[in-house]
Amino acid sequence: MKELRLAKKIIKTLVKDRIQYPGRLLADTLTTSGRCVVLLLLYYYVFNLKGGLINNTTFIVAAWSIFFYFAFMNLNLRNIARLIMADVQSGNIEVLLNKPISYLLYRSWWQIGAGLYSFLVVTLLGSVALILIIGIPSTMTIALFLPTVFLTFLMAVVLSLLIYIIVGLLSFWIIDINPVFWLIDKMVMILGGSYLPVALFPNFLYQISIYSPFGASQFITHVVYESWQMNWYWLILVQIFWIIVLGLAVYFMFRSVKKKVSINGG
């Protein structure tokens, strides 16, 4: 209960802060819409050249898949890695580890709260714009769609946090994690279907995307495909598997970290 109250307070405070200072929302909206619009226009042209169908995928399905990727990225969960690095480099980690709350839970809820407002607004406005401009695919009208989207979204949030927490915890050993961060981030972008929809991947890359934690953290981009209706339970099981594996990795890394840090500054 204490953790839930803390989470609610953190999220409420950060959302109110973002509402009071709309500059961040404007920047996030312009960045997301700019990249997404350019990419969708490019794919619209390509799909027209190919007769409207590529790999048995229509433009409208590919467009929604790309949009879901960019909308999810507005949560900015990746930034938790750099927050952990900043805590380590500044020495603030010693103070935070001495608090009666879990440091990793505190940082996770902080990151969710920091990006939640932008995510909700961009997702709502972007969804309305896409519906009015290109419509919605039939795969988004079935009863299965909303509950499985919600479930895979929650799994994607947890898995993304775990991936970037591991990157952040590496700062206890290598100080500057930026090279590792860039490498992992690019793998998430490529395998998650950021600029090339997953349905258009060659088979070997598609298999890597499905069975790697980097692709699994972005399964939200799969929900519009027809294959989702048959494979959703399997893909969610893949997410659960990686959450368990990476959760154990975080547990052992953090236990080692606490041994390295002297709470009293000695």
Which residue range(s) make up the domain with 103? 2-260
Residue at 64 is within a domain? yes
pLDDT greater than 80 at residue 98:
no
Overall domain count for the chain = 1
3-state secondary structure of 217: coil
pTM score, whole prediction: 0.91
Residue 23 has pLDDT above 90, yes or no: no
What pLDDT digit, counting tens, does each position of 66-97 carry? Answer: 899 988 988 889 999 999 999 888 888 877 88
Q: For residues 108 and 114, is the Cβ–Cβ distance under 8 A?
A: no
DSSP string, 172-203: HHHS--HHHHHHHHHHHHHHHTSSS-GGGS-H
Structural domain contains residue 182: yes
Rg (CA), the chain: 20
Half-sphere exposure of 16 (CA within 13 A, CB side): 6
The reply to whether 266 falls in a domain is no
Q: Read off the pLDDT of residues 114-158 as tens digits, 9 standing for 90 and up.
A: 888 888 888 898 899 899 999 998 888 888 899 999 999 999 999
Is residue 217 in a domain?
A: yes
Could you tell me if 36 and 126 are in contact, meaning their C-beta atoms sit under 8 angstroms apart? yes
Domain-embedded: residue 148: yes
Inside any domain, residue 265: no
How many Cα atoms are found within 13 Å in the side-chain-facing hemisphere of 213? 20
> Are 163 and 217 a contacting pair, CB within 8 Å?
yes
User: Residue 240: inside a domain, yes or no?
Assistant: yes
53 in Cβ contact with 47 (< 8 Å): yes
Residue 105 lies inside a defined structural domain of this protein: yes
